[in-house]
Amino acid sequence: MDSFAFIIHPINPRRDIQRKYPLLGKIASDWMIYTFSPLWPPVYLAKMEGITSAATGKQVQGYLIACPLSPKHFLGLPEKRVYTKIIETGRLAEKLGAGILGLGAFTSVVGDAGVTIARALDIPVTTGDAYTVAVAVEAVWEAARMMEIPLASATIAVVGATGAIGQVCAEMLAAGDTPPAELLLIGRRLDALQALRSLLLASWPGLAVSVSNDLADLKRAHLVITVTSAVEAVIDPEYIRPGAVICDVARPRDVAAHLAAARQDILVIDGGMVQTPGGPDLDFHFNFGLPNGMAFACMAETITLALEGRFEDYTLGKQIELAHVQEIRAMAHKHGFRLSGFRSFDRPVTKEQIDRVREMAHK
């Protein structure tokens, strides 16, 4: 049976370590976890079984493995040391017999976004970023429909627009059947934002595109996709207009945890999650923060490639082509991956909640 492997790592170290080692997560101090976790070997977590293509009936199995670094390690340790630990984790995937390796969370964005890691391993590698883009944009379109926000008169903001994911999110929004009234690109560097604006206008001359390096300009956005690589939350309640939808693709989250509690008139949805195709035997055998059978889009890209028999390096590097996103989206849909409702801060969002947010916004 064809197989794949997918790397995750602790986002909230204490909480996530408890998922595998309950006692250690309780007794170890934060200082101990931060100091000693880079010395731990990669961790085998579980075998994922029952994944079945809706188109072909083909089954694949997967191996969930953990790189023992937190976001602070990825940003604070020397890049060479981080690469070494990720490659060491990839070697575990090779020993398990995986045919392709997916990089999750910070393992996909460090350095050159997977290129160096792919060169060092004997199995192909993907970051999963292409399907992450597709799912994030699909989620925003669906949320706009449910919140009764007409795309043709909406301002859609992309926070972190000059990153690999942010840029192609902007392109996919521009290429949609109903382009927004305004596409607002937000990032740190105005020169890079202006360059992206020029690129978009070259392909879509009639598109209204504005740029900003001030998060306060989010006040005019009806829909927001946020995809930064910040360690701490960057979006606070005062930035957001009533009735807005925020799709938070970033891990760690870009949206402050208190935002949803403080603002009952906005809808915050977790980005990049889909239902995995499979029958009653579908089981991931590990709690990584989603209900069984749900997968992050970056993981779903890895699974899709295994179902398709495309055992090759796929999404790597700092640039992602729109055609690449459209290709993996079509493949994933063929095999049965679908948006399956919304989640907000790891909890399901009900239709009643959406109705309540809409009502509060009108008030």
Handedness of CA 277, 283, 286, 291 (dihedral sign): positive
**Alpha carbons 218 and 154: distance in angstroms, whole number:** 12
**Alpha carbons 187 and 212: distance in angstroms, whole number:** 7
Do 45 and 17 belong to one domain?
A: yes
Do 113 and 246 belong to one domain?
A: no
Do 159 and 80 belong to one domain?
A: no
Per-residue pLDDT of the chain in tens (363 residues, 90 and over written 9) = 899 999 999 988 888 888 888 888 788 888 888 899 899 999 999 999 999 999 999 999 999 999 999 989 998 999 999 999 999 999 999 999 999 999 998 999 889 999 999 999 999 999 999 999 999 999 999 999 999 999 999 999 999 999 888 999 999 999 999 999 999 999 999 999 999 999 999 999 999 999 999 999 999 999 999 998 777 788 887 889 999 999 998 877 888 877 777 888 999 998 878 999 998 789 999 988 888 889 999 999 999 999 999 999 999 998 999 999 999 999 999 999 999 888 888 788 888 999 999 998 887
Do 172 and 313 belong to one domain?
A: no
Report the amino acid identity of residue 346: D
Which residue has tokens 């101090």?
Answer: 29
Structural domain boundaries, residue 27: 3-130+274-335
The answer to whether 69 and 103 have CB atoms below 8 angstroms apart is no
Residue 142 has a pLDDT of 94
The answer to whether 7 and 90 have CB atoms below 8 angstroms apart is yes
Residue 238 has a pLDDT of 83
Residue 174: CB partners within 8 Å, gap ≥ 6?
A: 183, 200, 203, 204, 207
Angstrom CA distances, 158 to 42, 151, 178, 339, stand at: 34, 15, 17, 20
The answer to whether 177 and 148 have CB atoms below 8 angstroms apart is no
DSSP state, 41? P
Adjacent-strand bridge partners of 126: 102
Do 183 and 324 belong to one domain?
A: no
Residue 11 has a pLDDT of 85
What is the enclosing helix (H) or strand (E) of 137? Answer: helix 129-146
- HEC assignment per residue over 272-295: CEEECCEEEEEECCCCCCCCCCEE
CA 109 to chain centre: 11
Residue 205: CB partners within 8 Å, gap ≥ 6?
A: none
Angstrom CA distances, 111 to 108, 231, 280, stand at: 9, 16, 40
Do 219 and 197 belong to one domain?
A: yes
3-state secondary structure of 5: strand
How many domains is the chain partitioned into structurally? 2
Nearest to 104 by CA among 62, 138, 140: 62
Do 268 and 320 belong to one domain?
A: no
Do 147 and 60 belong to one domain?
A: no
**Alpha carbons 236 and 159: distance in angstroms, whole number:** 13
> Domain with 217 in it: what CATH number?
3.40.50.720
Do 321 and 347 belong to one domain?
A: no
Residue 275 has a pLDDT of 94
Do 42 and 80 belong to one domain?
A: yes
The answer to whether 273 and 297 have CB atoms below 8 angstroms apart is yes
